[in-house]
Amino acid sequence: MYMKIKLIPERCIACGLCQTYSDLFDYHDNGIVKFHQEDDLLEKEVTPDEGILEAVRECPTRALLGD
């Protein structure tokens, strides 16, 4: 089972919460969310785990979306 994760960088407030839940996420130099080692990718299909699901649920600005 795969899940599509979408990043919406313009909503990100660089709080750092998502990376505490999953190493799928990283940050640009300005602190805005990106996928780890994928600077320009805004959507990615992943095998969901509890950390990824928690990151999506807990993002305070909904900068992470999961389908």
Full-model pTM:
0.91
Query: How many CB atoms neighbour CB 46 within 10 A?
Result: 14
Predicted confidence (pLDDT) per residue in 11-37, tens digit: 999 999 999 999 999 999 999 999 999
Among the residues of 1-67, which ranges form H helices? 17-21, 50-58
Residue pair 56/32 in contact (Cβ under 8 Å)? The answer is no
In sequence order, what E strands does 1-67 have? 3-7, 25-27, 33-35, 43-46, 64-66
Percent of the chain with pLDDT over 90: 99
Q: What is the pLDDT of residue 60?
A: 97
**Domain map (residue ranges) of the chain:** 3-66
Distance between start and end Cα atoms, the chain: 11
Question: Which fold is adopted by the domain 3-66?
Answer: Alpha-Beta Plaits (3.30.70)
Round the average pLDDT of the chain to a whole number and report it. Answer: 96
